[in-house]
Amino acid sequence: FNIAKSIKPDTKDSINTLIRIAEFQVSSDDREGSRKTLAYAEGILKKTSFDGRDALRAELAAALVLLDERVAAQAIVRSMADASRKSKTIASIARAYAQRGDLEASVSLFALAFHEAAPINDKNKKYDTITHLIREQSKVGRLADAFKNAGRFDGRCLRIGVDGLLQSQGHHVEDQT
């Protein structure tokens, strides 16, 4: 954590590194260290503005769930005004619940994330949102749900679901986006 703090703090990579460090701290039962790391990352995110910031906030919310800081994670979701960003954040939180073993909450939150994505009218934004949701489901083995949800939209999303399944089984998949 101290080494990560010494890196230029306002880049996507440095903030992503901090979030990953916090996740490792949680998995090694260093909850206090994880809280400090996430608070530091959140402080940077509040002061900066760059492309990809909201994706990092979604990852931060998911890390907060792993730390059992649900109220703080919910506050991040509520602060997202855009339906696409909100949907992506909910999906990241759903993935974190699945990682914690709470599949009931995970399934409900994934359903909510898809519900939030439904009214998005911009095709590119909707594709980006659904792609994120499918990837999050695939990361935690919710492959049947990912296939089902991908099929609701278009062939590009279905391809993402197929690629996620193949990758989860150890197959190499070329990026075709």
Q: Pick left, alpha or beta for residue 91 (phi over 0 → left; psi -120 to 50 → alpha; otherwise beta).
A: alpha
Query: What pLDDT does 144 receive?
Result: 55
| pLDDT tens digits, 98-133 | 999 898 898 999 999 989 998 988 888 888 888 888
Residue with tokens 């880049």: 11
Task: Quote the CA–CA distance of 69 and 10 in Å, as a whole number.
Answer: 24
**Residue 175 identity (one-letter amino acid):** D
| pLDDT tens digits, 26-64 | 999 999 999 999 999 998 888 888 888 888 999 999 999
Query: What pLDDT does 53 receive?
Result: 85
**Residue 144 identity (one-letter amino acid):** A
Query: What pLDDT does 132 receive?
Result: 87
The reported pTM is 0.78
Query: What pLDDT does 10 receive?
Result: 64
Cα torsion through 48, 53, 59, 62, rounded to 10: 70
